[in-house]
Amino acid sequence: MNVVAATPLLIMSGASVLALVLGVLPLGPRSRWAPALVAAAGCLATFVMAVVLWGERQVAFDGNVRADRFSMLLVMIVLTATLGVLALAQREPSAVDRRAEWTGLLMLSATGMVLVATSGDLITLFLGIELLSVSLYVLCAVEVWRERSLEAGLKYLIIGGIGSAVFVYGLAFLYGVTGSTRLSDIGATLSGASLTGEPLLLVALVLITAGLAFKASAVPFHMWTPDVYEGAPSPVTAFMATGTKTAAFAGFMLMFTGAMTGVESDWRTLVAAVAAVTILVGNIAALLQTNVKRLLAYSAIAQAGYLLIGIAVGSIQGAEAVLYYLCAYTAMTLAAFAIVIIREREVENGDTLAALTGYGRVRPWAGVVMTIAVLSLAGFPPLSGFVGKFLLFGAAVEDGMTWLAIVGAVGSAISLAYYLRIAVVMWSPVPDSEPAGRKLLRMPLAGAGVAVASTVAVVGLAIFASPLIRMCRAAAESLLAP
């Protein structure tokens, strides 16, 4: 039996279990970095395997798990996000308190994301989405002494549970229509037979769109996002914003661009409508926020809308644009959250805009990181956020969905208002009524490293865009390969 294609999954699950077990072994205080080291080593080993497996599709476990350029690119994005969050969490109280559980759950969630990316079957796809969600429910509530964290966990659990139930009900109907749970067989059935307009299939499409929209925090299933993003510990929020989004869009691409490409005319308008509403609602609601984590939550909703444009287009070009934008989005989101996390350790209510006032003057490099991150999120040229949006909107125009590109452009224009506000606040003078508690701690090296590395990536992904776009193109083509 060929298990080579499943090695990323096996290494990740092994590392997460090992990290958890290290917590119960009586190793003494000197081993307190052991779980994080095991997790980092697991991520690096998986990354190497992802590079090795980059190529033609290989399958394992009778086709339940597959490794091709598409899944390996997504695995690399997920692993980068995981490594970044591992480093950012080093000073987080909940993570210091329970290192093994924290790291183990983070790794389990990352394993779920890897499973989504490498799944070749509805069952493994669902299992991956659940593995990542269930671990995140616990991680959101991990600061049990803090009421907001518990609330965030409970809310995420209930709303996430509803999303999963809707999603799996849609998958059940898709299975009912096609008679197979294998993605490739579903693709073959749907493109061969004339199933367009079949009522059961339409029900399945609506339910699957709704279920994935819950996970990707797209309107109208976005209500949980601001609350959970604000209440969860910030590194967990950063992980949700990057990893979960990547996994949700991996699901979107596998289901829509990949398996259901034969009935494209059935779902294009639906996904396009969701995208348009998501862009507008996310951007307008973000204007009113004063908490940076909440603001970034609404920004994450709006970004999900931009990404959905690439799904609605449905072509190789659309998938290519989504993949590129996911790389860029992960880098810029990690950079923005790194600054929030560093600031949060220094002052009470460090996640408000007020706490960031003048921070760029005190710590110029942090100001530069945040400014580049928000400018890229807003889509300023020549940063990678701009390149990504250019690809997404370009794919929409080329495919005859100019109106969607216009909605995206209008949304980006609105988003300037709140993104620039963050940049302005960072560089405005330090207020005189400085609270006494305001102090500067010694820089956490790991956090600063993540912030700087992500910023370099935001710029670098734009400068070296063409090789990355070629990679994304190859990945998108392998998605549509039979």
List the one residue from 39, 86, 134, 342 that touches other proteins (CB under 8 A).
134
* Nearest Cα to Cα of residue 293 among 358, 242, 341, 248: 341
Interface segment toward other proteins; rule CB under 8 A; list 81-89, 162-170, 332-340, 384-392: 162-170
For residues 452 and 460, the answer to whether their CB atoms sit within 8 Å is no
Q: Is 235 in the site for other proteins (CB under 8 A)?
A: no
Q: Is 126 in the site for other proteins (CB under 8 A)?
A: yes
Q: Is 406 in the site for other proteins (CB under 8 A)?
A: no
Q: Is 147 in the site for other proteins (CB under 8 A)?
A: yes
As measured in angstroms, the least distance from the Cβ of 230 to other proteins is 6
Closer to other proteins by CB, 141 or 339: give it.
141
Rounded CA separation 339/83 (Å): 16
As measured in angstroms, the least distance from the Cβ of 361 to other proteins is 32
Closer to other proteins by CB, 189 or 333: give it.
189
Interface segment toward other proteins; rule CB under 8 A; list 67-75, 221-229, 251-259, 389-397: 221-229
Q: Is 23 in the site for other proteins (CB under 8 A)?
A: no
Q: Is 181 in the site for other proteins (CB under 8 A)?
A: yes
Q: Is 153 in the site for other proteins (CB under 8 A)?
A: yes
Closer to other proteins by CB, 122 or 392: give it.
122
99-118 and 34-53 helices cross at what angle (nearest 10)?
Answer: 10
Strand partners, 58: 67
Number of residues that bind other proteins (CB under 8 A): 42
Closer to other proteins by CB, 169 or 390: give it.
169
Q: Is 166 in the site for other proteins (CB under 8 A)?
A: yes
Q: At which residue do the structure tokens 């294009």 appear?
A: 268
Closer to other proteins by CB, 69 or 294: give it.
294
292-313 and 264-286 helices cross at what angle (nearest 10)?
Answer: 160
Closer to other proteins by CB, 351 or 399: give it.
351
Q: Which residues contact 413 (CB under 8 A, 6 or more apart)?
A: none
Interface segment toward other proteins; rule CB under 8 A; list 74-82, 130-138, 277-285, 337-345: 130-138
Closer to other proteins by CB, 126 or 252: give it.
126
Closer to other proteins by CB, 155 or 473: give it.
155
Rounded CA separation 426/347 (Å): 15
Q: Is 293 in the site for other proteins (CB under 8 A)?
A: no
Closer to other proteins by CB, 281 or 465: give it.
281
List the one residue from 148, 348, 409, 424 that touches other proteins (CB under 8 A).
148
Question: What angle (nearest 5°) sits at the alpha carbon of residue 277, between those of residues 275 and 280?
Answer: 105
End-to-end CA distance of the chain: 21
Interface segment toward other proteins; rule CB under 8 A; list 23-31, 144-152, 299-307, 318-326: 144-152
What are the backbone dihedrals phi and psi of residue 141, each rounded to the nearest 5 degrees, phi first? -95, 15
Q: Is 171 in the site for other proteins (CB under 8 A)?
A: yes
Q: Which two tokens stand for residue 22?
A: 């290290």
List the one residue from 92, 101, 230, 344 that touches other proteins (CB under 8 A).
230
Query: Which residues make up the interface to other proteins (CB under 8 A)?
Result: 122-123, 126-127, 130, 134, 137-138, 141, 144, 147-148, 150-155, 157-158, 161-162, 164-166, 168-169, 171-173, 175-176, 179-182, 223-224, 226-227, 230-231
